[in-house]
Amino acid sequence: MGNLSIVLLVIIAANAIISFKGFSDFAFFEKYKFSVGGILRGEKFRMFSSGFLHVDMGHLFFNMFTLYIFADIVVSYLGNLHFLIVYIGSLLLGSLLSFYFHKNEYHYSAVGASGAVMGIVYSAILLQPNMSLYLFFIPIPIPAYIFGIGYLLYSMYGMKKQLGNIGHDAHFGGAIGGYVITLMLASWLFKEHLLMIVLLAIPIVLLFVLKKLGKI
């Protein structure tokens, strides 16, 4: 992992330490989780702190393992500092989109690094759109950009149908964060991967059009 190891280890350690504290301290978990009611009371810090809390070990492991898989691609292209900017920016964008969609649901709450992790995943997809990804239930490789488009469409469907106990909007917001911030930091992508940039933008534009029309 080279130079990434320190940055990645700090992020994983922060997630692990804060999550383990939350596992055993209900008051701590309640104070720092994403909570629409809390945010409306002025506790904006929840938009950041909730990204380091998880509901259980499985949730924590899945997010950190996914981060580990994709982090090296982002840092190799953008460097450690910009990797961190993509991670934190995506975390905040995920929280902001969640708040945007649930601002009228006073008791809505959520936790997890999924928004930040999805930002890193989408940053990696932009940087290497033709890399192959394997899904557990599909034994054939899928081009990264097709996975990216498909996942955003699935997230939109999940938001509309409120599928499972999953923050689909945070995932989508994190992906938008990774997409936008990466393009700001690596403008050369417009020259090398313009078609992929346009294709990956379609679900993002579609989300806000459907929201405007009241379909989501």
- Given a cut of 70, whether residue 85 has pLDDT beyond it is yes
> What pLDDT score was predicted for residue 137?
58
Give residue-wise pLDDT tens across range 94-115.
Answer: 999 999 989 999 999 999 999 9
CATH code of domain 4-212: 1.20.1540.10
Structure tokens of 64?
A: 């950190």
pLDDT score, position 136: 57
Per-residue pLDDT reduced to its tens digit, 26-63: 999 999 999 999 999 999 999 999 999 999 999 999 89
Averaged confidence pLDDT in the chain: 89
Per-residue pLDDT, 142: 82
pLDDT of 147-187, one tens digit each?
Answer: 888 888 887 777 777 665 667 788 889 999 999 999 999 99
Residue 144 has pLDDT above 80, yes or no: yes
Residue 137 vs residue 188, higher pLDDT: 188
How many degrees, rounded to 5, is the angle at CA 208 between CA 121 and CA 166? 50
- pLDDT for 192: 92
Q: Where are the domains of the chain?
A: 4-212
pTM, two decimals, is 0.91
pLDDT at residue 2, as a whole number:
47
- Using alpha carbons, select from 79, 44, 57 the residue that is nearest to residue 186: 79
